[in-house]
Amino acid sequence: MVGDLYQSTTGRSTTPLMLREALQNCGAHDCSVLFVHAGINFGAPRSRRTELLQAMTDTLLQLGPATICFPAFTFSFVNHEVFDQQNTPSRMGVLSEYFRRLPDTLRSADPLMSVAVSGRRSDLALAIGTQSCGQDSTFDMLSRTDGVRFLFLGVRPQDCFTYMHYLEWHVQAPYRHNRDFHGMIQSGNQSTASTATLFVRYPGVYPGPGNAQYERQMADNQIMLTHPFGDNFIHCVPESTAKALWLQLYHRDPNFFITSPFARPLTIPANFEHTLPMVAM
């Protein structure tokens, strides 16, 4: 059994029990679906990597939600790569990849933004459409599900709250457009040609300070609960109230989340290639 997880810069050790208490203090236990964005930068590890990841994953699985979901994004088709549903590693961090490989975890066949799901809501992985962040995506289903919370384990919402991109699709933000990506999906011995659609920003459109302001307002309005853990923090926010605040900010100013007012380009260069950061696409 793992004892200490991390030792902070002040010399204080953290344990799985302390992690569980921090998660409960943030409300992460009080939901039907917990969607986890995770980093593991809480201090100096006190256990071997595999033991550390197992202890953190076990704590999440024992927390109480009927379903836990991790992003397991690869953007394989963007990078002109085959997406192997069982074997292509998640590019969303080591905890995401560890969770994805668990025996009882299902992974969606999305060659751009797959998710790994454990628990009752297998449809969040198995019933998706071809739009990675739009209609019939995992995020679209989450928006129609009661009791969803987003957990930020050692990372900040302003840096990796992918659900905001779904909300941009929901309101059809004019600074984004649908783009199709083509490639091959490998599942077991079967290889299938496929197309995935992503709601991407136009060239020259960049995220602005609104993301940080949104995070701050969630904290100030106590929509988002935060608890220290080791050298970092844990944040948790309900989907419904996070969505309501985002929509309020967007409708007040459609340019709130980008650097400057948007002017639609007359044409998009034929050879234009999107460079997609792992989450803030």
Q: Tell me the pLDDT tens digit for each residue of 248-273.
A: 999 999 999 999 999 877 666 555 55
In a domain, 72, yes or no: yes
Q: What does the pLDDT read at residue 270?
A: 54
What is residue 24's three-state secondary structure?
helix
Q: What does the pLDDT read at residue 144?
A: 97
In a domain, 271, yes or no: no
Read off the pLDDT of each residue in 100-106 and give the average, rounded to a whole number: 97
In a domain, 263, yes or no: no
**Is residue 64 scored above 50 in pLDDT?**
yes
Per-residue pLDDT tens digits for 188-227? 999 999 999 999 999 999 999 999 999 999 999 999 999 9
Contact assessment for residue 213 and residue 262, using Cβ atoms and an 8 Å cutoff: no
CB-based contacts of 264, cutoff 8 Å, min separation 6: 174, 175, 202
Sign of the dihedral defined by the CA atoms of residues 132, 138, 141, 143, in that order: negative
Alpha-carbon span 161 to 10, nearest angstrom: 30
In a domain, 153, yes or no: yes
In a domain, 91, yes or no: yes
Q: What does the pLDDT read at residue 275?
A: 46
Q: What does the pLDDT read at residue 281?
A: 42
Report the percent of the chain where pLDDT is more than 70.
94
Alpha-carbon span 81 to 51, nearest angstrom: 31
Radius of gyration of the chain (CA): 19
In a domain, 261, yes or no: no
**Is residue 280 scored above 80 in pLDDT?**
no
As for how many domains the chain has, the answer is 1
In a domain, 13, yes or no: yes
Contact assessment for residue 235 and residue 161, using Cβ atoms and an 8 Å cutoff: no
CB-based contacts of 205, cutoff 8 Å, min separation 6: 175, 176, 258, 259, 262
Alpha-carbon span 144 to 146, nearest angstrom: 7
In a domain, 280, yes or no: no
* Overall pTM surpassing 0.75 (yes/no): yes
Contact assessment for residue 116 and residue 103, using Cβ atoms and an 8 Å cutoff: no
Range(s) of the domain holding residue 24:
6-252
User: What tokens does 138 get?
Assistant: 């995992």
Alpha-carbon span 228 to 207, nearest angstrom: 27
Alpha-carbon span 61 to 58, nearest angstrom: 5
Average per-residue pLDDT for the chain: 93
Q: How far apart are the first and last CA of the chain?
A: 39
Alpha-carbon span 145 to 158, nearest angstrom: 23
**Is residue 279 scored above 60 in pLDDT?**
no
